[in-house]
Structure 1
Amino acid sequence: MTVWNSLRGLALGDAFGEQWFLRPTSEVDSSMAERRVAEGVWPWTDDTAMAQVLLAHLDSRGTVEQGALAAEFASAYEADPNRAYGGSMHGVLTAILAGEPWRAVTTSQFDGQGSWGNGAAMRVAPLGAWFAADLDAVVDQARLQALVTHAHPEAVAGAIAVAVAAATAVNGGEGLLDAVLDRTPNGEVATGLRRATRLRPALDPRHAAGTLGCGYRISAADTVPFAIWCAARHLDDLVEALWATASAGGDMDTTCAIVGGIVAARTGLDGVPAAWLAACEPLTARRPA
């Protein structure tokens, strides 16, 4: 149940955040949200599309098998490419569809550095919930799924951090930021998490974003620390967590997807307004047995 709740929370956060993507933070208010509910469905993006593929993969195989996962990501992209995939991901998935080996494709990105984008982190929270009983497995499986599309160490670190955050939320959430930092490889993501541990929980999220970033660079390093700080700040209230995250602006579909996947793994979606649930585009994935 926690795994399915994590996916549902991720999709809700993705769809909610997409309504405000890169808008001025002054526009992010509850009255406008209610008007947007009346306007129709909140569609989700590539965050949810790839998270659904990842969860279906785990449900089928029980572990990350990278070659198969790469093919499944590419097939989902081919079936529905208009989900706001990033530019580099269009290239990666198109190349995999054309038969190029996934490892060669991902390691050749950005002059051989690999992508350090936030895509491996945005989809991974349900994996953290899946393996929550074994944090070593959480770290290993998060790394494996990240490398399928993002070869840069910072992208991998961001995915590990989010997966550990989701697992920690499932296990009670105590000391979440410290628990995540303890398992995150050294680098810029870890440096951002250290900054996050020093921020007051009552700090305005917009000020926190000024210190940590909120996804304007679309990188793991300027996305993950802020998202995990927001999740830790509102670990028992999904709605407040999403409002706090969106209020900072930036890459809001991704930051809200990360937060939704972490917090909902703990809370479920019982406290979410019925209008939000009705507006959020339904998932296409099958609920795991």
Structure 2
Amino acid sequence: MVNRTAAVAAMRGLALGDAFGETWFFHPAEVLETALAERWLKAGPWPWTDDTAMALSLLKILRRYGHVHQNALATAFADAYAKDPNRSYGGSMHKVLRAIGDGQDWAAVTRGQFDGMGSWGNGAAMRVAPLGAWFAGDLDTVVTEASRSAAVTHAHPEAVAGAVAVAVAASLSVTGIPGGDLLAAVIERVPDSEVRSRLRRAARITPGADPRHVAGMIGCGRQISAPDTVPYAIWCAATDLDDLTAALWTTALAGGDIDTTCAIVGGIVGARTGLTGVPADWLEACEPLPAWLDRG
């Protein structure tokens, strides 16, 4: 069984979070600390970035094949990049996706990054929430398919661990887990890694803590790595698992790689809530998603 409705909800939440987070790159960070923050949000449009572009490709492959067909996913990523390379792709992804588009073997290209270690960036995690929602309730499959989706562009075990963590969090979100139980349940499914270590640290943080304090302990994406990004995002999602708007404000407060942390949080929380309660002007400002998303 698959949950297409939840996957689309996660996709919409991810895109909103991505676009919302991207707006804060154009405002002073300290504004987020004030009651005037809402006024500083630009009216729109809020464009989404590579986070959403790659998530759309992943969801399209799930719809076509019912699982992660790695060759097809690599082609989909490269095709989307070729059509619109100006979506704030990471530096290494420009090289990877151009090489795949030129016909090179994706596995060889991906494994060859960073002196053969592969990328441990947050790109595999930022796009994977719809996959977790798609397979909601089947965590074994979530772990397997999230790992396969990550490997197409990120060969480093930390990047894979980050993708697994986000996909599991999105899957559990759909099934109704209480926010207070989310981190512990995710930790059970994440392989031994720095991502898992920081998730454990996050689970020990007092609920309601200042996100800036949390970011100081476990990171918030400033290093653009999975270990520096994923634990913070999942902590933020767990804090406001039933309120997408509140979750995005919480996530943005610490700064860092805001579009990516908000995309991850938007995907996890949106898988559960949809866009319920999101201000109408946010929805109007956010760049539309392609029409095919609404087709069966």
Q: Structure 2: which 5+ residue stretches go unaligned?
A: none
Report what 1:186 is aligned to: 192
Q: Offset at 1:32?
A: 4.4
Question: What percentage of residue pairs aligned between the two structures are identical?
Answer: 64
Tell me the CA shift for residue 173 of structure 1.
1.9
Q: Which residue of 1 aligns with 2:87?
A: 83
Tell me the CA shift for residue 20 of structure 1. Answer: 1.1
Task: Identify the residue that residue 139 of structure 1 maps to in structure 2.
Answer: 143
The aligned residue for residue 264 of structure 2 is: 258
What corresponds to 1:225 in structure 2? Answer: 231
- How many residues were matched structurally? 288
Report deviation, 1:281.
0.3
- For normalisation by structure 1, the TM-score amounts to 0.97
- Kindly indicate whether residue 156 of structure 2 is the aligned counterpart of residue 152 of structure 1: yes
Alignment of 1:84-163 (within 5 A): 84-163=88-167
Q: Is the 8 A contact 1:142 1:160 kept in 2?
A: yes
Amino acid at match of 1:132: A
Once the two structures are superposed, residues 206-262 of structure 1 have per-residue CA deviations (whole angstroms, 9 ceiling, x without a partner) of 000000100000000000000000000000111110001000000000000000000
Tell me, yes or no, if the aligned pair for 1:150 and 1:156 is still in contact at 8 Å. yes
Segments of 4+ in structure 1 off by > 4 A?
none
Q: Secondary structure at the match of 1:183?
A: coil
Q: Alpha-carbon deviation of 1:24? A: 4.8
Provide the rounded CA distance (Å) in 2 between the counterparts of 1:114 and 1:22.
31
- Determine the structure 1 residue equivalent to 2:55: 51
Q: What's the counterpart of residue 198 of structure 1?
A: 204
1:35 deviates by: 4.5
Q: Which ranges in structure 1 are unaligned for 5 or more consecutive residues? A: none
1:208-223 aligned at under 5 Å gives the runs: 208-223=214-229
Q: Distance in 1 between the 2:171 and 2:216 partners? A: 27
The one-letter code of the counterpart of 2:25 is: F
CA distance in 1, matches of 2:17, 2:56: 14
SS in 1 for 2:226: coil
User: Structure 2 vs 1, CA of residues 167 and 22 (structure 1 numbering), >3 Å: closer, same or farther?
Assistant: farther
Matched, 1:172 2:173: no
8 Å contact 1:21–1:251 — kept in the other structure? no
Among residues 274, 284, 288, which one is paired with 1:278 in the alignment?
284
User: Which amino acid counterpart does residue 80 of structure 2 have in structure 1?
Assistant: A
TM-score, reference length from structure 2: 0.95
For 1:133 and 1:119, the matched residues in 2 are separated by 24
